[in-house]
Structure 1
Amino acid sequence: MFFHGEPCPSVLLMGCIGDQVYHCVVAICSDNLRIITAHVPLEEAWTDNHMRREKP
C-alpha cells in the first residue's frame, strides 16, 4: 500500500483474464475508490508471476 499517494492512499492490484496479466492502481478514498491507472505489465520488468518488480 502506498500511504502517501495522491489523491488518497493506493494499492497495486494484479488480475488475469485467461493468460493475460493486468495491473491496476486503485486509490482508496474515504467515500469511494478511484482507478488511477490500468495496464499490461512489461514481461521483462517483473518476476514471480508479475508480483515482484526487478530491481534496475
Structure 2
Amino acid sequence: MRHNPASGAIVIMLRSLKMHGMAQAVGELTEQGSPAFEAAIPILSQLLKAETAEREVRSTAYQL
C-alpha cells in the first residue's frame, strides 16, 4: 500500500465537494498503486480546483 500526499488531498477535496463515492474510489485506487491513477492525479487535482472555483462563483452569484 502506497500513500501519495496528492491523492490524500484529492480525497479531501472530493469529500468537501460531497463526492463521497468518488473519494472512496480514489482511496481504493491509491491502495492498489495503479500507475494509470498516479499519472492522472495532476489532472484530477486541476479539475477539482476548477469545480471548487465554479461552485464558489455560483454561490456568490446566488447571494447577490
Question: So what's the TM-score if we normalise by structure 1?
Answer: 0.25
Q: Which has the larger radius of gyration?
A: 2
Higher helix content, 1 or 2: 2
Higher strand content, 1 or 2: 1
